[in-house]
Structure 1
Amino acid sequence: MKFGHTIIYVPDVAASLNFFEKAFGFSRRVLHESGTYGELETGETTLAFAAHELGELNFPTGHVAAHDSPQPLGIEIAFVTPDVPSAHAVAINAGAVELAAPKEKPWGQVVSYVR
């Protein structure tokens, strides 16, 4: 078994694809003609976005809309780069909200968090 993909339910699939293209340099694999599902070309794994309407179909008792949640959800999607501060700045300039500025962890890894 291997990790297949991550799907993030969002209010605007096309806008989410555009953001990840601008902020992180990914290219678009597909945007369904309905506009409710799209994927980015990320290598061996797939990063996908689905409209909240699909979430309502898949989760009949409801789901938490990440963009409306006052706190970050208990999930992260990690991207690896040799220059975290520059990548962090590009993401902020593309419209991300900073959750944690770049910081070196005790084990030497530099990390930052954006939403």
Structure 2
Amino acid sequence: MQLGYVILYVPDVPATIAFYETAFGLKRRFIHDSNSYGELETGTTALAFASEEMAAHNGLTVRFHRPKETAAAVEVALVTPDVAAAFQRSVQSGASPVHPPKQKPWGQTVAYVKDLNGVLVELCSPMSA
């Protein structure tokens, strides 16, 4: 097996795709005509968003992300060589700051924000070999 998609259920797929384009510089792969599903170009594994209604349609019971609630125990990690600039860009674009960039003992720089839906997003430098 291989990881093909990470799919987050959100209230507004087009708004979330637009936010990720602006805040993180990701490129839109597509949004379905129904506006209930969309994907971003993120490398081998696609980051995708489906409408909250799609979760019910798929027979799923889930706890949806909400901006003012504690983040769920999951994160989207985006790798960038300039974590400080990515953190600033995302916050200026409407992300909620959680933790500013910090150098970790293993040499990686890491910061955290929450997206417009309350999803935790890690901004991190590449891992050294």
State the TM bucket, normalised to the shorter chain: over 0.9
How many angstroms apart in 2 are the aligned matches of 1:104 and 1:57? 43
How many angstroms apart in 1 are the aligned matches of 2:69 and 2:17? 22
1:68, CA displacement in angstroms?
A: 5.3
1:59, CA displacement in angstroms?
A: 3.6
Q: What SS does structure 2 have at the residue aligned with 1:77?
A: strand
Q: What SS does structure 1 have at the residue aligned with 2:87?
A: helix
Letter in 2 for 1:85: A
Letter in 1 for 2:25: G
Tell me the C-alpha RMSD between the 2 structures. 1.3
How many angstroms apart in 1 are the aligned matches of 2:10 and 2:86? 23
More strand by percentage? 2
How many angstroms apart in 1 are the aligned matches of 2:112 and 2:100? 7
| 1:67 counterpart residue number | 66
1:72, CA displacement in angstroms?
A: 0.9
Q: List structure 1 segments (4+ residues) > 2 angstroms apart after TM superposition.
A: none
Deviations, residues 35-54 of structure 1 (Å, cap 9, x unaligned): 10000111211000000000
| 2:57 counterpart residue number | 57
Letter in 2 for 1:114: V
Deviations, residues 20-77 of structure 1 (Å, cap 9, x unaligned): 11111111111011110000111211000000000112244x2111125611111111
| 1:90 counterpart residue number | 89
- Name structure 2 gaps, 5 residues minimum: 115-129
After TM superposition, list the pairs within 5 Å mapping 1:1-115 onto structure 2.
Answer: 1-60=1-60, 62-67=61-66, 70-115=69-114
Do the aligned partners of 1:4 and 1:46 also contact (CA within 8 Å) in 2? yes
- How many residues are paired up? 114
When normalised by structure 1's length, the TM-score is 0.92
When normalised by structure 2's length, the TM-score is 0.83
